[in-house]
Amino acid sequence: MRVVIAPDSFKGSLSAWEAAAAIERGVKRAAPNCETVLLPLSDGGEGLVESLVEATNGTYHEFHIMGPLGEPVWAKLGVLGDGETAVIEMAQASGLTLIPEEERNPLLTTTYGTGELIRLALDLGCRHLIIGLGGSATNDGGAGMAQALGVRLLDSAGDSLGLGGAELARLASIDVSELDPRLNNVKIQVACDVTNPLTGPQGASAVYGPQKGATPKMVEQLDQALANYAEVIRKDLGIDVESVPGAGAAGGLGAGLLAFLRAELVSGIELVLNTVNFRAAVDTADLVFTGEGKLDAQSAYGKVPIGVARACKPMGIPVVVLAGSVELDTQPMYDDGITACFAVANGPMTLEESMDQAAKLLEFKAEQVMKVWLAG
């Protein structure tokens, strides 16, 4: 019997690899002679680098770069087994978790460090970049990223802007003459599963600004700044990014990647599944386990369990989801190819207790599922 184990991370408690190892222990306790294949996944957010590097026998590279408030931070990128593809999580350089809650201010935070990681990937000789946009602390439209790669953002006096989303209100012109020329020969794919435009009621500032520390007044200020940014991009670069679905991802970094790097915005889970050759890996599987911290209505929008189920459904491979919690209305998920889903808690407990015991709970639940599967 061959079982593929392909979970996402259980955010705040287990990485995707830790979750996969816990599930494998449970499977092996029930079926010691079962062949298991561990294929931890990501939807393009947390764990993207680790998922793709480990699946392709790639390498990690760590650098000292600029963090979201201008402070130095350590950040890593991965180079996949082909030696030519780099994978970057913008949160490594410009993420919300890098800033204490009391210091979060999207008027000031910058994606400059993300641009530095892109430049460092080029220095490593990579000609294909995969960039994950989850977990940002920023609302600068990717302006900092562009500045790190040689773009000059100028005010009406011809002086360069400073860093941060608020500065974009003063933007008058854009000079791309010094943009790193190596980018002309690089394919850039962006793992992006949100459809928010850059500005407006569903834009980057209104929807995601508050969780990054923005007050209602700051949200209005940032939205106006991004609208000005979009207008200058239209004027000077001839590109309209304002209403493009996904342009508002990561505080507008999606727009910056479109405008300056001619990147392609793609489904994160589909990008990951294709990169790790998932369909070939499960082709001879008898059963697939997947999972994430919470299985709910949002899971249908590009999350790992649904992506796995949709990939397995045409092959008729059963898919079992183990999750920290499961929403009661799961019928649409069954239609996507999920065979069964289980919450891992084995009794009344708080969220904190469940997260603390996540590995043991996953192991136990996987063992019980395998015992039932074998009995059938």
The last residue of a domain, from among 227, 243, 268: 268
CATH number at residue 308: 3.40.50.10350
Residue 273 lies in a domain: no
Same domain, 9 and 87: no
Tell me which residue has tokens 């790190």.
148
DSSP 8-state assignment for residue 44? S
Same domain, 223 and 287: no
pLDDT tops 70 at residue 347: yes
pTM to 2 decimals? 0.89
pLDDT of residue 301: 65
Kindly report the average pLDDT of the chain as a whole number. Answer: 94
Q: 270 in the Ramachandran plot: left (φ > 0), alpha (ψ -120 to 50) or beta? A: alpha
Q: Which two tokens stand for residue 64?
A: 């000292």
CATH number at residue 240: 3.90.1510.10
| pLDDT single digits (tens) 185-237 | 999 999 987 889 999 999 999 999 999 999 999 999 999 999 999 999 999 99
Q: Which band of pLDDT confidence, cut at 50, 70 and 90, is reported for residue 41?
A: very high
The last residue of a domain, from among 240, 268, 296: 268
Same domain, 31 and 57: no
Same domain, 37 and 68: no
DSSP 8-state assignment for residue 11? T
pLDDT tops 80 at residue 153: yes
Residue 274 lies in a domain: no
Same domain, 307 and 164: no
pLDDT of residue 116: 98
Same domain, 289 and 162: no
Q: Which two tokens stand for residue 232?
A: 């200058």
Same domain, 157 and 254: yes
pLDDT of residue 4: 97
Q: What b/e sequence results for 217-230 when a residue is b if at least 16 CB atoms lie within 10 Å of its CB, and e otherwise? A: ebbebbbebbbbbb
